[in-house]
Structure 1
Amino acid sequence: MIVNSTEVQNNFGKYLMLAAQEDIIITRNGREIARLSALKDPLSDFGETPGTVMEKAEAYGYGGRKASYEEFLELTKDNEERYEYIDGEIYFLASPKTAHQIALTELFVIFYNWFQGKDCTPLVAPYDITLKRNAENINVVQPDIMVICDLAEKLDKNDYYQGVPSLVVEILSEGTRSKDLIKKLDLYMSCGVREYWIVNPLNKEVTIYLFEDKDIRNHTTYRKHETAPSYIFTGLSVELDRIFKY
């Protein structure tokens, strides 16, 4: 199916459902710029059957023909929907579920209180973070929580942050777990993030990665009833019973 970008933007939910059945070719000014297709889940050990459609209308990539960074900007400008752009693929971010939002709220309160009076600032989504693997590979993500320690120095003239957060938190959902566990882990590690928290409300676990020299230096998984401490911020810790209430 071939559809122009204006039609897709105005009826995104409709085309998300159709993409589970067939690829949607997206055009602008008569030129093909992207393909909307359902992703396949490589993580069969998380309970999905290999080859089944994943993302469940929560996060879809414009797969197949990859979009350029300029095409991503053009496709998403003046659009109130939330998107991420990773390694040439565009991902739609839909409204999260209750467990996700409870974990996000509790975590951000803990982070906000702990960082009061300190040099670093915790921020919460939606907030674009632009990460560059190199000059040609530009990515735009919206972590659930990010801790930024050079905010004043890295704001551009339009009030957008152009640096790399020290710590990033992603809260998994059924639709975004493969992206968060694989694509984003590699992206954050490669682009200079020092610590990455993966919060899993489904299994009530938190895994914390410490990155050094674009590699995993250490990682630990904490489970319900345990307390998860930060590697890089001494004294910052989270009781998992507080963020996993249901």
Structure 2
Amino acid sequence: MIINSTELQNNFGKYLMLAAQEEIIITRNGTEIAKLTAIKETSVKNNTLPDKVHEKAPEYSTYGKKATYEEFLQLKQESDERFEYIDGEIYLLASPRTAHQIAITELFGIFYNFFQGTNCTPMISPYDIELRRTPENISIVQPDMMIICDLEEKLNEDDYYKGVPSLVVEVLSKSTRRKDLIQKLDLYMSCGVNEYWIVNPDNKEITIYLFEDNNISDNATFKNNEAAQSFIFDGLSAEIQRIFRV
């Protein structure tokens, strides 16, 4: 199947489901630029985790095998590295690049000032967020930044947050693009996040998705001299040129 990028943005949930059945080619101005395909599980020879992580890319890499939630928790306890656990698979997080850090720093400053005096709190990574598709299907992610509006109500006795952020921000890199645009988008959409900001330093664009009833109800992309505008927080905006100043 071949579709253009506008059609994909407007009906992402639909094509995400179709990708499980067939490969989808995305075009822009008549030129093929990407494809959407199902993620296939990698076969393994045994049921034990490898002793070392072999990075496939410098910023975001995977063990290449499924693991139980208990195995993930054990790995976290035994390692000083940062990990995420998404839909039964472990991912190693490595150090971000300069453009990533500048974008997050600028956004955090904007968000911090905007939410002063409210019940919403901006938080930045590393900070574990537990998301459940079902009671048994648990994922642990570390979004680059998030807005939490029920922090005090959802802290457990060990001072860990057990709620769902209202807004989540992820900054793309070449190695995280597929995870952020497909797997994490679907995870956030399915688990109660209301708004998802995807920050793209390469294209100097911010795309914002509004989620309602476990589906995409609206989205918008901002670039050049525009300011990204939140759907759920009236008046919250971020100038594109400020976010991508390098």
TM-score bin, normalised by smaller chain = 0.7 to 0.9
Identity among equivalent pairs (%) = 61
Partner of 2:187: 187
Q: CA deviation at 1:76?
A: 1.6
Give distance in 2, aligned partners of 1:213 and 1:79. Answer: 37
Q: Number of matched residues? A: 205
Match status 1:217 vs 2:217: yes
The TM-score, its normalising length taken from structure 1, stands at 0.78
Give distance in 2, aligned partners of 1:60 and 1:122. Answer: 27
Partner of 1:168: 168
Give distance in 2, aligned partners of 1:59 and 1:24. Answer: 20
Secondary structure of the corresponding residue to residue 209 of structure 1: strand
Give distance in 2, aligned partners of 1:211 and 1:130. Answer: 18
Q: Which amino acid aligns with 2:140?
A: V
Partner of 2:64: 63
Is the CA contact 1:228–1:237 (under 8 Å) kept in the aligned structure 2? yes
Q: Which amino acid aligns with 1:199?
A: V
Unaligned runs of 5+ in 1: 1-22, 40-54
Q: CA deviation at 1:141?
A: 0.3
Q: CA deviation at 1:56?
A: 1.9
Partner of 1:11: none
Unaligned runs of 5+ in 2: 1-41
Partner of 2:16: none
Is the CA contact 1:204–1:224 (under 8 Å) kept in the aligned structure 2? yes
Of residues 43, 48, 55, the one that matches 1:32 is 48
Q: CA deviation at 1:128?
A: 0.3
Residues 34 and 186 of structure 1: is their aligned pair in 2 closer, same or farther, counting only changes over 3 Å?
farther
Give distance in 1, aligned partners of 2:179 and 2:232. Answer: 24
Instruction: Give structure 1 regions of 4+ aligned residues with deviation exceeding 3 angstroms.
Output: 23-27, 33-39
Q: Which amino acid aligns with 1:243?
A: I
Partner of 2:141: 141
Give distance in 2, aligned partners of 1:87 and 1:145. Answer: 21
Give distance in 2, aligned partners of 1:34 and 1:83. Answer: 15
Q: Please report the RMSD computed on the Cα atoms of aligned residues, expressed in angstroms.
A: 2.2
Q: Which amino acid aligns with 1:58?
A: E
Give distance in 2, aligned partners of 1:113 and 1:160. Answer: 24
Give distance in 2, aligned partners of 1:37 and 1:160. Answer: 27
Per-residue Cα deviation, 1:30-57 (whole angstroms, up to 9, x for no partner)? x624698989xxxxxxxxxxxxxxx523
Is the CA contact 1:35–1:63 (under 8 Å) kept in the aligned structure 2? no
The TM-score, its normalising length taken from structure 2, stands at 0.78
Give distance in 1, aligned partners of 2:53 and 2:137. Answer: 22
Per-residue Cα deviation, 1:133-159 (whole angstroms, up to 9, x for no partner)? 001110000001100010000001110
Q: CA deviation at 1:59?
A: 1.2
